[in-house]
């Protein structure tokens, strides 16, 4: 119900894509990864609310030619054989051709991950992430386009994984522990605290 059924589907075309990066070790326990990227994308798919008059508000796709500059940094710290910390962050600058903003694309996102190997079978993982500088597209009651700045999102997740064999493992994740009703998509609050479980098999 939240997607317009009459979407016009088009392919995106990465006309230019240049990446420059460096990675290395600061010490025996700390490593880093830094990179910069420039992309020139034709028909980047962006989503915006369809109309003020449709209830529930649904989304349509908006295509635009967008230049993207991305800066990425990652720092990994291995405290011991069983404990690891990973801090990563991305800065994104979008330059659309016709749209006011690259709708719903984050200008900044960061994540801190903690991984603890309890024993040969159990691994505990926790992460905190932040999404910021996002804009949504909606319409006023006169059907004129309006840009809405969305709130910064900060959330915390916790998960545990059980390695039954080298190929088979089971996991359970507890997401949005603070049970926030933030909006990843405008006027669609996210679920509160929720649990996701499953398994993976490698062959």
Give 3's DSSP letter: B
Mean pLDDT for the chain overall:
91
pLDDT for the residue 84 = 96
Separation CA 114–CA 99 (nearest Å):
38
Q: Are 84 and 77 in contact (CB under 8 A)?
A: yes
**Is the per-residue pLDDT at 7 higher than 80?**
no
Helix (H, G, I), strand (E, B) or coil at 124: strand
pLDDT band at 8 (very low <50, low <70, confident <90, very high): confident
**Is the per-residue pLDDT at 19 higher than 60?**
yes
- Residues in CB range of 105: below 8 A, 6 or more apart: 46, 92, 94, 134
């Amino acid at each position: 119900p939240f997607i317009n059924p009459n979407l016009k589907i088009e392919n995106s075309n990465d006309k230019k894509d240049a990446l420059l990066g460096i990675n290395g070790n600061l010490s025996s326990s700390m490593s880093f990864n830094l990179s910069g990227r420039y992309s020139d994308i034709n028909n980047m798919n962006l989503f915006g609310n369809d109309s003020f008059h449709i209830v529930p508000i649904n989304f349509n796709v908006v295509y635009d030619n967008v230049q993207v500059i991305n800066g990425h940094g990652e720092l990994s710290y291995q405290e011991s054989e069983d404990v690891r910390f990973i801090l990563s962050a991305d800065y994104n600058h979008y330059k659309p051709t016709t749209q006011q903003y690259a709708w719903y694309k984050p200008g900044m996102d960061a994540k801190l991950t903690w991984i603890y190997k309890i024993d040969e079978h159990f691994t505990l993982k926790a992460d905190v992430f932040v999404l910021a500088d996002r804009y949504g597209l909606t319409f006023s009651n006169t059907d004129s386009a309006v840009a809405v700045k969305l709130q910064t999102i900060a959330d915390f997740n916790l998960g545990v994984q059980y390695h039954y064999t080298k190929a088979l493992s089971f996991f359970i994740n507890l997401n949005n522990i603070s049970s926030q009703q933030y909006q990843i998509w405008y006027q669609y609050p996210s679920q509160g605290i929720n649990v996701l479980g499953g398994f993976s098999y490698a062959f």
